[in-house]
A and B are shown apart, each in its own frame.
Chain A
């Protein structure tokens, strides 16, 4: 296959499928109890220098509690897959956790605006950057989950997004057509937030899967945070509902409201007031320092964080909003 053009971006992870197989060969297949406190799971499985993947979609079914804990424990020099990274990235930027960033969507919080903290951090020169698109990052994870060295898509040719990626354009050996190839991405560790899991790591969620099935299959270690722990019997009664099987999972943490202040489908809506407070606090360095201290370093866990932002009363309101009960006639 002839390489016609190459992006100049750096590759932060090794795409060799045999390296991955070697790792997975020795990973335990035993259905053992993996329940742990979030603090212990992050300490055991998220290390300085690791490449990190975060599940969900920015502020939707995102393991926010885990992001806080990573910052609290002071992780540094990590690689990070910025795959529509919004509030998760905002938190990790506040802790200056990563120094290598694969970018599909970063800095912004969609319609809410841009995070000044994320912007300043990646404009600072402290972070190595490589550009991709949402599709390309998703299929990089898919390639890893299938354990093939690359996959292909017909996007980004002729753009600077391609130029600053580590993708290549090749001539297809069958049709002669130009196509873009992207290398498999195997994160060292991923954290995925779900609705329900058993203590062995069998996990299920409702709503869109975004790129979480690919992420779970691609990552060497997987931490599941769950709104609820359920029995293995319950899982095995409805096996078609399992999204992530236990053998992929290294730790299971019971973290109710673990996606707050993001949305959890069917459970609670995003706390837009609090997300706005984040964006506002970032405008002044001293205000932001105090804000981060109050909301992250000063909280012993996620429950303490929720308590300092309206507690269960707030969660109840967000639940009403999620279920559309705030709208006239639906109550």
Chain B
């Protein structure tokens, strides 16, 4: 069997979620790698948008910044931040990949502070950037992240980006656009979705080498479990080849795992 690391597995699994012809707003790093892999293998007509203004670029390599020249290389348009967010607001953007220092059972994300309170944090992080906007406006928000009890917590220190807020119908009542919200969470151990009524995180697929017990033990809240658990397919030889040779030849992202 081909050797791979957990980052490669997460990126491959994420790339398979993207159907041909859909649109996605991404940042740098793993999200961009997944979108590029999808574009090369599964979704040649994937429309990629970058928050600083790039619309549908032909990415020659992974951008370092979501606003560097790669992010609008041979693009359909080099626009503005408001152009991109307006498109998300109008419902043109199907997917986004986000990350954060912490996530809770409803998929709310924290990228603002760790520890202490807002005015006296232990660590100040960047804040929303475009994450809150994407999480508010894109139809389906996904997260790719390594899983442990420090990241998957009962109460996150700050809700930077909305998930399903407090679960149930709370997101719909908040005034955020209807029907948009967290869709899938892809970790080194599992793939999760959100149960329809409670909007709680639910394991639907277990990654090779892990058990349901591992997954629960590395999560700070109780996970729901789908009736029938799938086993996540490991990255294929083709996925790995393209990921390593074309998408991330210098190992900026896949070399970190």
A105 interface hit (Cβ, 8 Å): yes
B:47-86 near A, CB below 8 Å = 51-54, 60-61, 64-69, 71-72, 78-82, 85
Query: Which of these binds chain A: B1-9, B119-127, B146-154?
Result: B119-127
Query: Which of these binds chain B: A26-34, A192-200, A210-218, A297-305?
Result: A210-218
> Which A residue sits closest to B131, measured CB to CB?
A133
Contact A135 B158 (CB under 8 A): no
CA of A211 to CA of B82, assembled, Å: 7
Which residues does chain A contribute within 8 Å of B79, judged by CB atoms? 208-209
Which residues does chain B contribute within 8 Å of A147, judged by CB atoms? none
A178 interface hit (Cβ, 8 Å): yes
Contact B112 A270 (CB under 8 A): no
CA of A103 to CA of B60, assembled, Å: 32
A324 interface hit (Cβ, 8 Å): yes
Contact A57 B82 (CB under 8 A): no
CA of A110 to CA of B85, assembled, Å: 19
Contact B28 A208 (CB under 8 A): no
Q: A154-B89, A156-B132 are in contact. Are A161 and B112 (CB under 8 A)?
A: yes
The 0/1 profile, CB within 8 Å of B marked 1, for residues 79-117 of chain A is 000101010000000000000000111111011101000
Contact B129 A207 (CB under 8 A): no
Contact B175 A177 (CB under 8 A): yes
Partner of B132, one of A114, A161, A324: A161
Q: A119-B123, A160-B118 are in contact. Are A133 and B69 (CB under 8 A)?
A: no
Contact A207 B78 (CB under 8 A): yes
A:157-196 near B, CB below 8 Å = 157-161, 164, 169, 177-180
Which residues does chain A contribute within 8 Å of B24, judged by CB atoms? none
CA of A215 to CA of B25, assembled, Å: 24
A:242-287 near B, CB below 8 Å = 263, 265-266, 269-270, 272
Contact A161 B160 (CB under 8 A): yes
Which residues does chain A contribute within 8 Å of B85, judged by CB atoms? 134-135, 138, 153
Q: Determine which residue in A111, A125, A169, A209 has the highest number of CB atoms from chain B within 10 A of its CB, and name it.
A: A111
Partner of A154, one of B53, B64, B108, B136: B136
Contact B127 A111 (CB under 8 A): no
Which residues does chain A contribute within 8 Å of B65, judged by CB atoms? 57-60, 86, 110-111, 263, 270
B184 interface hit (Cβ, 8 Å): no
B185 interface hit (Cβ, 8 Å): no
B240 interface hit (Cβ, 8 Å): no
Which residues does chain B contribute within 8 Å of A324, judged by CB atoms? 60
Contact A106 B126 (CB under 8 A): yes
B190 interface hit (Cβ, 8 Å): no
> Which B residue sits closest to A8, measured CB to CB?
B118
Contact B80 A160 (CB under 8 A): no
CB distance from B90 to the nearest CB of A (A): 11
A224 interface hit (Cβ, 8 Å): no
Contact B89 A153 (CB under 8 A): yes
Contact A156 B136 (CB under 8 A): yes
A-B contact count (CB 8 A): 194
Which residues does chain B contribute within 8 Å of A208, judged by CB atoms? 52-54, 67, 71-72, 78-80
A131 interface hit (Cβ, 8 Å): yes
A132 interface hit (Cβ, 8 Å): yes
Which residues does chain A contribute within 8 Å of B174, judged by CB atoms? 157-158, 178
Contact A105 B136 (CB under 8 A): no
Which residues does chain B contribute within 8 Å of A154, judged by CB atoms? 89, 136-137, 175-177
Partner of A108, one of B119, B125, B161: B125
Partner of B129, one of A84, A263, A322: A84
Contact A104 B89 (CB under 8 A): no
Q: Determine which residue in A57, A164, A324 has the highest number of CB atoms from chain B within 10 A of its CB, and name it.
A: A57
Contact B125 A60 (CB under 8 A): no
Partner of B53, one of A114, A155, A164, A210: A210
A226 interface hit (Cβ, 8 Å): no
CA of A138 to CA of B60, assembled, Å: 28
- What are the 7 closest A-B residue pairs judged by CB atoms, nearest first? A178-B175, A208-B53, A57-B67, A105-B129, A108-B126, A155-B136, A158-B174
Given contacts A60-B69, A158-B162, A270-B68, list 12 more A-B pairs with CB under 8 A: A106-B124, A133-B133, A134-B51, A135-B81, A154-B175, A154-B176, A154-B177, A157-B136, A158-B175, A159-B132, A164-B118, A269-B68
A selection of 12 A-B contacts at a CB cut-off of 8 Å is: A107-B127, A111-B28, A112-B64, A133-B131, A153-B89, A158-B174, A178-B174, A180-B175, A208-B79, A210-B81, A211-B80, A269-B68
Binding site for A on B (CB under 8 A): 27-29, 51-54, 60-61, 64-69, 71-72, 78-82, 85, 89, 108, 112, 118-121, 123-133, 136-137, 158-162, 165-166, 170-171, 174-177, 252
Binding site for B on A (CB under 8 A): 56-60, 82, 84, 86, 103-108, 110-112, 114, 119, 122-123, 125, 129, 131-136, 138-139, 142, 153-161, 164, 169, 177-180, 206-214, 263, 265-266, 269-270, 272, 322, 324, 327
